[in-house]
Amino acid sequence: MFNMKKQQQAEPLASVVSDAAVRADNITKNYGEGEAEVRALCTVSMEVGYGEFVAVMGPSGSGKSTLMHLLAGLDRPSNGNVYIEGDNVTTMKDNELTMLRRKRVGFIFQAFNLIPQLTAEENIVLPLMLAREKANGNLESILDQVGLTDRRTHKPTELSGGQQQRVAVARALITQPAVVFADEPTGNLDSKSSDDILSLLRNAADERNQTTVMVTHDAHAASYADRVVFLADGKIVRELSEPTEASVLEAIKEVAAL
Amino acid sequence: MTKVALKGLGLHKARAVLTTLAVVIGVAMISGAYVVSDTMLSAANSLSGSAYDNTDAVVTKHQAFSTGSDTVGTAVTVKPDVLQKVRSLPQVAAATGDVTEQAKLIDKKGKVIGSGPYFAVGLDPVNGKNLTPFKLTQGHFATTSSEVVVDKGTADKQHYKLGDQIKVSAIGPVKSYTIVGITKWGSVDNFGTATAAIFTLPEAQAMFHKGNAYNSILVGARSGVSPEQLRATLKTQLGSDVTIQSAKKQDRFTLDGLTSFVKIIRGILVGFGMVSIFVGAFIIFNTLSITVAQRIRELAMLRTVGASRRQVMRSVVGEAAVMGVLGRSSAFCSASPSPRVCRRS
């Protein structure tokens, strides 16, 4: 179901971790040069299994957004490699990355990032539009899933924040990507809307086996994930499986005390 | 992607409209300059085509040096005995003495009509009827010294009709004449800001102190005689005391000057147009830079959902192209005199 063919073709190294949708292999990211050099990530390795919903947490400046950008192929690591479904993202050319983003990766941002001049429906099918594909049968079920069937013709400015983010979630899911990256998806939302969005992501993981990586600093949001990865000073310092809000808060305290 | 770009235009209407306006102004200036000057030039050309139609040769007194065309009433004259001699030649169908000078027409409020040239012509209607470009549309040519014929353009513009009095200022004091005829310039109603007053030949001679002489003698060839043959014959018969030229070359209405004047005007107008295009280019460049800067988040987002570099580029270039084409078309329409030209663009 998950691109078995691709995995078989992948280089030998990847076969070791063929059960990973996303794999980071000793990645380092430096910004700036010389004395001004800042090490944002320091030899980080991690894996996200197929259908797994992983939350990445950490204080500001811990490198969690950097990690997400590297995993998603939005930025290149200074060292190390990133694999999505066994394909090395690090060495991809610009047009290969374009195809990767178009077909195999979905994004959800804190600021929704919808196109203001397009309707909700047009925003959702935008990745298909860019690929010059017809809206597939998924559209109706996804619209139904995010509860926007009656709002499909509305422009983003006519929607609430929660509704806009639901459009963004639908846009990320429409291409049935290998992995969805969510960068603080609830950062701009009230708690009710946040719960809606998090439930959507949780359901996608449960029902569609949707692999998801979510960056957040909200313990409540992290409790929806299967696993939480804690970053501090560019390193993974702790992991937590089957998190609850309480265990996440406790882990945050421990990490801060390190 | 095109849809995104086009709808983006709709979202920032003021910006799109103002940028388009910059294109419109620049293009309209240039095309307007060409439309105006081409209209004037084609009028000049059709006039110079018909102005000298039936005149195959012009006889003028040989001048040792040129006095220039600005001096009024100082041209060296041809004596009537030359005219007699020309008429006696078998190759000649018609010959007439001509006085073409400058005299200003004064309107009812005392102002000079037009801004020149102010043609004043002495015409002998009997012999010169086919040798003059002036074609009557109303009335008759002047027969007495107090009568005058004016061009249709001037008459229409100043609301003169047959029987009206009009004042004329030549070399001497201003004198009043009765309008007895309205005339066209060949097939053209009026020629720019030029005016024409046609008097009897003796009146023109008196007005410009010519005595019984003429500025030139206009000659029409008998049928079967080519203009070249006629001019060769005149040259041998009249000797070196006179100059024989084609009417176009002699150019008594200074149409060449008018044409080059129109060309200078065109140069100036196109120059202004170039300046506005130059300035417009900066405005457009600036606006598009700002557009891209404002849209940078949107463009980045498009990249993350799978737009290729080319698609993003196309959306920006497409937006510019739409504004450019719309601006160009409306500029042509606003600058062109007829809807036909507009549709063709």
Cross-chain Cβ contact A101/B306 below 8 Å:
yes
Residue B81 binned pLDDT confidence (cut-offs 50, 70, 90): confident
CB A162 within 8 A of CB A192: yes
Cross-chain Cβ contact A117/B311 below 8 Å:
no
B49 vs A176, which has greater pLDDT? A176
Is the pLDDT reported for residue B113 higher than 50?
yes
Quote the minimal CA–CA distance from B281 to chain A in Å.
27
Q: Which chain A residues are closer than 8 Å to B298 by Cβ?
A: 113, 115-116
pLDDT at A8: 46
pLDDT at A5: 45
Averaged confidence pLDDT in chain B = 82
Across the range B321-334, mean pLDDT stands at 85
Residue B264 neighbours by CB under 8 Å, 6+ apart: none
Is the pLDDT reported for residue B69 higher than 70?
no
Q: Which chain B residues are closer than 8 Å to A129 by Cβ?
A: 1, 3
Cross-chain Cβ contact A115/B302 below 8 Å:
yes
Closest by CA position to B190, among listed B133, B242, B240, B233: B133
Cross-chain Cβ contact A129/B3 below 8 Å:
yes
H or E stretch at B16: helix B13-51
Quote the minimal CA–CA distance from B304 to chain A in Å.
6
Q: Which chain B residues are closer than 8 Å to A117 by Cβ?
A: 4, 7-8, 10-11
Across the range B221-239, mean pLDDT stands at 85
d(CA B86, CA B83): 5
Of B298, B306, B309, the CB nearest to A115: B298
Residue of B nearest to A103 (CA): B306
d(CA B195, CA B105): 8
Cross-chain Cβ contact B4/A115 below 8 Å:
yes
Residue A91's Cα: distance from chain center in Å?
A: 20
Cross-chain Cβ contact B7/A118 below 8 Å:
yes
- Which two three-digit tokens encode residue B307? 């737009």
DSSP annotation string for A188-242: TS-HHHHHHHHHHHHHHHHHH--EEEEE---HHHHTTSSEEEEEETTEEEEEEES
Spell out a b/e string for A136-164, using b for 16 or more CB atoms within 10 Å of the CB, else e: eebbeebbebbebeebbebbbeebeebbb
Residue B318 neighbours by CB under 8 Å, 6+ apart: B2, B5, B6
Cross-chain Cβ contact B306/A116 below 8 Å:
no
- Which two three-digit tokens encode residue A192? 């009710």
pLDDT at B178: 93
Q: Where are the alpha helices (DSSP H) in chain A?
A: 4-9, 12-15, 64-71, 94-103, 120-124, 126-130, 138-145, 161-173, 191-208, 219-222, 245-257
Q: Backbone phi, then psi, for B287, in 5-degree steps?
A: -60, -40
Residue of B nearest to A96 (CA): B308
CB A55 within 8 A of CB A228: yes
pLDDT at A168: 93
Residue B343 binned pLDDT confidence (cut-offs 50, 70, 90): low
CB A206 within 8 A of CB A231: no
pLDDT at A4: 46
B301 touches chain A (CB under 8 A): yes
Cross-chain Cβ contact B301/A109 below 8 Å:
yes
Encode chain A (258 residues) as per-residue pLDDT tens digits. Answer: 444 444 444 444 444 445 689 999 999 998 888 888 888 888 899 999 999 999 999 888 888 889 999 999 888 999 999 999 989 999 999 889 998 998 899 999 988 888 888 899 989 988 888 888 877 677 888 888 888 888 889 999 999 999 999 999 999 999 889 999 999 999 888 999 999 999 999 999 999 899 999 999 899 999 999 999 999 988 999 999 999 999 999 998 888 887
**Interface predicted TM-score (ipTM) of this complex, two decimals:** 0.79
CB B83 within 8 A of CB B97: yes
Residue of A nearest to B304 (CA): A101
Chains A and B: how many Cβ contacts under 8 Å?
57
Q: Map out the domains of chain B as residue ranges.
A: 2-42+259-344, 57-245
pLDDT at A47: 92
Q: Backbone phi, then psi, for A111, in 5-degree steps?
A: -95, 25
Cross-chain Cβ contact A113/B301 below 8 Å:
yes
Across the range B96-111, mean pLDDT stands at 89
Chain A residues with at least one Cβ partner in B under 8 Å = 74, 94-95, 98-99, 101-103, 107, 109, 113, 115-118, 122, 126-127, 129-131, 171, 175
Question: Which chain B residues in 6-35 lie under 8 Å from chain A, judged by CB atoms?
Answer: 7-8, 10-11
pLDDT tens digits, residue range B132-181? Answer: 888 889 899 999 989 999 999 888 888 998 999 999 988 878 899 999 99
Quote the minimal CA–CA distance from B14 to chain A in Å.
15
Q: Name the CA dihedral angle for B44, B49, B51, B57, rounded to a multiple of 10 degrees.
A: 130
pLDDT at B34: 82
Residue B68 binned pLDDT confidence (cut-offs 50, 70, 90): low
pLDDT at B42: 79
d(CA B316, CA B319): 5
Strand, helix or coil for residue B183: strand
Quote the minimal CA–CA distance from B285 to chain A in Å.
23
pLDDT at A171: 92
Quote the minimal CA–CA distance from B302 to chain A in Å.
9
Of B11, B297, B307, the CB nearest to A130: B307
pLDDT at B37: 80
The angle, 0 to 180 degrees and rounded to 10, between the axes of the packed helices B255-294 and B296-304 is 60
